[in-house]
Chains A and B, each alone.
Chain A
């Protein structure tokens, strides 16, 4: 069975601080995808990144970066120089790769509050 664990329920930082959101996953699949989504107070799910299990290179997109470590089954997300607009709930998710539908399995989310 697949499982995603986000141990941090809530994090609060002061604006301009860096913050890392942790994600640990479990799967028996050899090939899979990992995702991060942002859910602002308005409620929609905003896609941030998808990473194939074969690609362990870290990724940077502006102030966002992701550290994928297959050896520890982790896919952590760092926001550099946080801003108030980053305040949201962030979900890590996992899906298999195969024939047919591959539903996403979500973690419980981490609520990030950035204080001005």
Chain B
């Protein structure tokens, strides 16, 4: 069964550093999402991406965050200057079509120290 692949599985970074989280979507999927889950809390929507542009973003997705699909395969989430409160699990999810189910990656656990 096709999978959404996220790398790295765990990243530790110093406060103020830039991080890039990577997601390889399923090849025929068109809709992409990033979600965040702070430890012990609910999964929160960050941003959705379609046709090479952001289609919706939440209040959490401020100027420190950016997404892109630079090479047509990887879908990346960049945090420019990490803060302690960015420590969380970040999930990538993709959909083939608007009414299709979502396929989640296994997540990247980001720890900011």
Of the candidates B43, B93, B98, the one whose C-beta lies within 8 Å of that of A99 is B98
Of the candidates A91, A101, A109, the one whose C-beta lies within 8 Å of that of B33 is A101
> B65 on the interface (CB 8 Å rule)?
no
| Tier of interface size on chain A | 20 to 34
Task: Write out the residue numbers on chain B whose beta carbons fall within 8 Å of the beta carbon of A99.
Answer: 98
Once bound together, how far apart are the Cα atoms of A50 and B101, in whole Å?
Answer: 8
How many of chain B's residues have a CB under 8 angstroms from any CB in A?
27
- Chain B's closest residue to A108 (CB) is B42
Residue-wise, chain B 95-112 has the 8 Å CB interface mask toward A (1 for contact) of: 100110111101101000
Residue-wise, chain A 23-50 has the 8 Å CB interface mask toward B (1 for contact) of: 0000000000001010000011101001
Of the candidates A95, A102, A107, the one whose C-beta lies within 8 Å of that of B42 is A107
| Chain B contacts with A in 26-58, Cβ cutoff 8 A | 31, 33, 35, 41-45, 48-50, 55-56, 58
Which secondary structure characterizes the binding site on chain A? loop
Q: Is the CB of A47 within 8 A of B42?
A: no
A45 CB → nearest B CB, Å? 5
Once bound together, how far apart are the Cα atoms of A82 and B35, in whole Å?
Answer: 30
Q: Is the CB of A97 within 8 A of B98?
A: yes
Q: Which residues of B are interface residues toward A (Cβ below 8 A)?
A: 31, 33, 35, 41-45, 48-50, 55-56, 58, 89, 91, 93, 95, 98-99, 101-104, 106-107, 109
